[in-house]
Amino acid sequence: MVMEKVKERMRRITSALLCVLLAAVTVLGCIFGVQHGEIEVSAAEIQTGGNAFDGTSVNEDLQGLDLSGYTFNATLDPQVIYFMEYCYGEDVIDCVNYGLYVYVYNPAKLTFSDRAGANTLNMAVEYNAEGKPDGYANVPLRICGQSTGTLEGLIWKFRVMDEGNEILSNARALERQTGERRYDVAGIQLWTAGEANGESYDIIPLPEDYVFAMTYFYSGYSKGFSDSSMEESTLDFRTEDLTTVPLDLRHGFYRPEGTNGDDYTQDSLASVYFAVPNDLIEEYGELYAVHFTFLEAVTDWMFVTGNSDVYNELLGYAGQDITGKDLQYGFGAGREENRVDAGLWEVVFEYGYNQILTGFGTNAYISRTDLTNLKYIFPVDGGMDETDSADDYVLQWEVIQEYMEQYSAGKSDLIFGRYAPELFSWVADEVTDKELSAEDEFHLTGITFDNWWNEIWGIETETPYTMPAIQEVTSCQSAAQVEAAYYLDESCYDDFKEYYDANSNDGTVYVFHFAQSEYYAMEAYNLDNDVTGLFDSYEMDSNARLLKETVYLNFDIIDVSMKKGETITVLGVVANPIDVIPNGTPAVETTSDAWRDWAEEFMKLVLSILGIIGGIAIIALLWGPITTLLGLLLKLICMPFKAISKAVKNRKDKKK
């Protein structure tokens, strides 16, 4: 009921605005001398795609309308109040100034980003033979201006950037086919610029996708833009509700047990899950394909430690080059071998950070790759200074994302206005725009040792895993069951279970696997540079991990294809984009530090026993001198008492 009232209000506003803006089109046409057969537009304007209407003020555009109801309200979301076609002509040459414009009511006075591509309109860009949408895209919007005066910041004007004239070409083709130009708009996606109602904040959130769900049909032409409209405008329009799919996206991942054949490396499967409303499935059929976009990136190395001394010092150097700096602690990751070279015992690591080059006595610690600038440093939450706490610790994606945001706060030239580039070792040159269907599959591998005997002899077992890109979830019984059936890691289960229970009654939950990558994780050894004791070790413990993973930034679903029998229907999607950041899972191989604790206690016991034995031996060797000294000491102690006793005796003798 509420949605119907909103749509009816939009229709009334649209009708009123159309009258005002059609007049503006006619006037602007006269100003620019745009008449049939005579176009007076500069070459520069044609090349840039600009036109006069980009620069008209919002207040002037809406002059004559009652806008008193558009007031500040921090609790309301932005809302599209008008979609406009401008300067469409019968001939191609008449479309030089063609454009589409969107007016947005911004009740919370958000400041929208002016970054290129930040704000988009999800609209149909492909049509089938029947003239219905067959594919959508996030078409960029350019900010033209915002209202001023008493309406300061409340209404924003955007131009739809039809950079390849794809939308115009579709409009002309549909006009020839049906007699009307058609624009199908699912939603509008707006990205804030770190400011709301004049207040700034450091961490820019992901964009919000707001429902539009409207189809506009235009026919006729503005005055002077066709033979039939030379005397007066014939431009008209009508609207229809557009069926869209609202999705609440969540993400997960899966990694098979064991490596994929390379040291410290596992296959990793990235996924999202969501619920499609059952009424849409009943009308259009099951989910068949998903059209999505994301920016792929690989993080820099992340260090996780359960040693508080190491964590506290290294955290202070996060993002700094430590070359030439004096740090007490470091680490070596990926222990490759222990070897003897020229009489020197060497420990070789794959990666090292402030590691010992020459150890105590005859030890040496060597790394094949030196890390000098560590961006990510994490503690083992709830397990600091506990034996082996890092071995099974799962670094949750929320912790990683929050760290990335906090690290990037206040920095410039951020990726999507959110993340510092140095947080990544690789970032794709362009956004991935892709579609996967229920017929597509992923293939992963897990290589393990079945038992300790096979591990001794190096007998590996390779297990293949194959899963379809789209899986309908029919049950959610346990973490093990969900992992085996739907390829979501057990660490994702609690969130998935909560989502499934909340959405499976009115919707059908799907798991959508969309990308495969490699995950790197290796056990790390905390090292101490300042060891001086005879029985101390540079290796404090192996309670740490070094890891690196692929992330998918600003993941967004653009449209979905539903299949009922042989009929496939493409529907636009309204969904807030998410950053898909998998959890940091344990390394495949770890070494327990329990023996270190036992060895430490054993060494204390040995030292105590040695101390007792040494004390007895010393006493035995020095027993003669000791007894002599004790005798002398006893005599010295007794001398005063003897003297007193003698004096008392002499006194008694005199009395007698």
Tens of pLDDT, residue by residue over 486-529, are 999 999 999 999 999 999 999 999 999 999 999 999 999 999 88
Summarize the confidence of residues 76-100 as an average pLDDT. Answer: 87
| Rounded to 5°, angle at Cα 488 from 485 and 493 | 100
Vertex 420 angle, CA 254 and 379, to 5°: 55
Summary mean pLDDT of the chain: 84
Find residue 290's DSSP bridge partners. 436, 560
CA distance 340 to 240: 79
What whole-number distance in Å separates Cα of residue 223 and Cα of residue 236? 12
pLDDT at 469: 98
Give the model's pLDDT for residue 30: 26
Q: 34 pLDDT exceeds 90?
A: no
**Could you report the per-residue pLDDT of 634-648, keeping only the tens digit for each?**
667 766 766 666 665
H or E element, residue 610: helix 594-621
- pLDDT above 80 for 307: yes
Tens of pLDDT along 399-411?
999 999 999 988 8
Vertex 44 angle, CA 40 and 48, to 5°: 115
Nearest to 443 by CA among 491, 492, 487: 487
Give the pLDDT confidence score for residue 264 in this predicted structure: 95
Averaged pLDDT for residues 40-45: 28
Q: Is residue 451 very low, low, confident or very high in pLDDT (cuts 50, 70, 90)?
A: low
Taking the C-alpha atoms of residue 54 and residue 159, their distance in angstroms, rounded to an integer, is: 7
Averaged over 555-572, what is the pLDDT? 97
pLDDT higher for 649 or 29? 649
Residue 340 predicted with pLDDT over 70: no
Q: What is the pLDDT of residues 186-226, one digit of tens each?
A: 999 999 886 555 555 566 788 899 999 999 999 998 888 88
CA-based torsion, 419, 421, 427, 431: positive or negative: positive
Q: What pLDDT is attached to residue 200?
A: 52
363/89: higher pLDDT: 89
Residue 317 confidence (pLDDT) above 70:
yes
Rounded percentage of the chain residues whose pLDDT exceeds 70 = 79
Mean pLDDT of all residues in 51-69: 88
Contact 226, 94 (CB under 8 A): yes
Q: Burial level of 293, CB count in 10 A (0-12/13-18/19+)?
A: middle
Q: CA nearest 263: which of 363, 335, 329?
A: 335
**Does the global pTM surpass 0.85?**
no
Residues 6+ apart with CB under 8 A from 169: none
- What local confidence, expressed as pLDDT, does residue 22 receive? 46
Q: Given this model, what pLDDT does residue 96 score?
A: 80
pLDDT of residue 612: 74
Q: Is the pLDDT of residue 622 over 70?
A: no
With 90 as the cut, is the pLDDT of residue 272 above it?
yes
Query: How far apart are the C-alpha atoms of 537 and 527, rounded to whole Å?
Result: 8
Q: What is the pLDDT of residues 120-176, one digit of tens each?
A: 999 999 999 999 999 999 999 999 999 999 999 999 999 999 988 999 999 999 999
Confidence of residue 92 (pLDDT cuts 50, 70, 90): confident
pLDDT at 154: 96
- Pairing relation of β-strands 286-299 and 550-564? antiparallel
Across residues 455-464, what is the average pLDDT? 74
- Report the pLDDT value the prediction gives residue 48, as an integer from 0 to 100: 40
Longest dimension (CA), the chain: 163
Which residue has better confidence, 34 or 436?
436
pLDDT of residue 378: 98
Res 461: pLDDT = 81
Provide the pLDDT for residue 429. 97
Whole-number pLDDT of residue 45: 32
- Say which residue, 349 or 511, is predicted with more confidence: 511
- One-letter amino acid for residue 594 of the chain: A
Kindly give, in sequence order, each residue whose CB lies less than 8 Å from that of residue 29, ignoring residues fewer than 6 positions away. 35, 87, 222, 223, 224, 225
pLDDT at 546 over 90: yes
What are the sequence ranges of the domains in the chain?
A: 2-242, 250-590, 629-656
Helix (H, G, I), strand (E, B) or coil at 397: helix
Average pLDDT for 450-479 = 84
β-bridge partners, 555: 578
Residues in CB range of 35: below 8 A, 6 or more apart: 29, 224
Higher pLDDT, 433 or 629: 433
- Amino acid code (one letter) for 321: D
> What mean pLDDT do residues 273-299 have?
98
Does 462 or 379 have the greater pLDDT score? 379
The continuous run of DSSP H or E covering 13 comes out as: helix 2-31
